[in-house]
Amino acid sequence: MTVYNLDIKDKKLFPNFTQLPYDNDYDVTFYKEDAESGILRPRHHWCFLVEITEIVPWLRPMYYAKDIDGQSVFIAFHTDDRSPHIARECKVGDTMAIMYAQSHAFMDGKIGIRVESHDYVKLLHCSLEKVLDVGEALISKSCHVCDKPAKSQCVNCAMKYCNKECQTADWKLRHKEECNIIGRCFLRWRCFDWWKFEFFRTP
Ligand SMILES: [Zn+2]
Ligand SMILES: [Zn+2]
């Protein structure tokens, strides 16, 4: 299986709120016209990462969150079933990953994200800072603990280690949890080339 390098610092793949395409515009940096159908298709995959800062009590899931640069973002789910599992599971401090997010102007004048399908949303029960740290560490070629050249790696997420001692110690200390929450998610994300769009991917 090919594991692609996925750079979480690349703002084209992980844009902040201001960089997202607007849902009423044809943004040529994110979309291109399909030659046969004339329908707009993404040029590449992208994912909007936010940390939930406030749960808005309402009939459907609604949140305030902060993006990767700390900007506050309003997020509202407008899904047919009102996404009860999201409402149940999402806590303040969780990270939400929204594939192909676009900014939207709501009727009341708010600008935010209107989620129409929770298939493209993944909840990670950890902070955004942790997700960014682990995401960055995953593309490093040196040991996650001591920065020496790596000779070993985690079977679940391919995190690199210099030797089994570092790996075993780190598993007990922190990696067991970060691997289960973030590592596995990233391994799935790294199974495809984010620069090549063939079809919409769920996170
Ligand atoms: Zn080491
Ligand atoms: Zn791992």
CA distances from 134 to 50, 55, 107, 153, 179 (A): 15, 26, 38, 14, 9
- Expressed in angstroms and rounded, the spacing between residue 149 Cα and the centre of ligand 2 is 17
SS3 state of residue 157: coil
At residue 1, does pLDDT exceed 80?
no
At residue 150, does pLDDT exceed 90?
yes
The answer as to whether 202 is a domain residue is no
The answer as to whether 8 is a domain residue is no
- Please state, rounded to an integer, the average pLDDT across all residues of the chain: 95
Ligand 2 (ion): residues with CB under 5 Å are 154, 156-157, 159, 179, 183
Vertex 202 angle, CA 59 and 116, to 5°: 30
**Containing domain of residue 156, as a range?**
17-189
Q: Which long-range contacts (CB under 8 A, 24 or more apart) does 145-154 make?
A: 145/169, 145/170, 154/179, 154/183
- Expressed in angstroms and rounded, the spacing between residue 171 Cα and the centre of ligand 1 is 12
Q: Which tokens in the block code for residue 203?
A: 């996170």
pLDDT-derived band at 8, boundaries 50, 70, 90: very high
Name the strand (E) or helix (H) holding 63: strand 62-67
Which ligand lies nearest to the CA atom of residue 152 in the structure? 1
The answer as to whether 1 is a domain residue is no
Q: Where residue 88 sits, what CATH number does that domain have? A: 2.40.50.140
The answer as to whether 100 is a domain residue is yes
- Expressed in angstroms and rounded, the spacing between residue 183 Cα and the centre of ligand 2 is 5
The answer as to whether 67 is a domain residue is yes
- Expressed in angstroms and rounded, the spacing between residue 52 Cα and the centre of ligand 2 is 25
- Expressed in angstroms and rounded, the spacing between residue 143 Cα and the centre of ligand 2 is 12
- Expressed in angstroms and rounded, the spacing between residue 181 Cα and the centre of ligand 2 is 9
The answer as to whether 161 is a domain residue is yes
The answer as to whether 21 is a domain residue is yes
CA distances from 116 to 58, 67, 99, 146, 151 (A): 16, 19, 11, 43, 44
The position carrying tokens 């990953």 is: 97
User: What is the C-alpha separation between 200 and 203, in angstroms, rounded?
Assistant: 10
Task: Give the pLDDT confidence score for residue 191 in this predicted structure.
Answer: 93
- Expressed in angstroms and rounded, the spacing between residue 11 Cα and the centre of ligand 2 is 24
3 vs 196, residue with greater confidence: 196
Task: Provide mean pLDDT across the span 19-28.
Answer: 94
pLDDT digits (tens, 9 = 90+) for 109-125: 999 999 999 999 999 99
- Expressed in angstroms and rounded, the spacing between residue 159 Cα and the centre of ligand 2 is 5
The answer as to whether 10 is a domain residue is no
Which ligand lies nearest to the CA atom of residue 150 in the structure? 1
**Structural domain total, the chain:** 1
User: What is the C-alpha separation between 64 and 190, in angstroms, rounded?
Assistant: 28
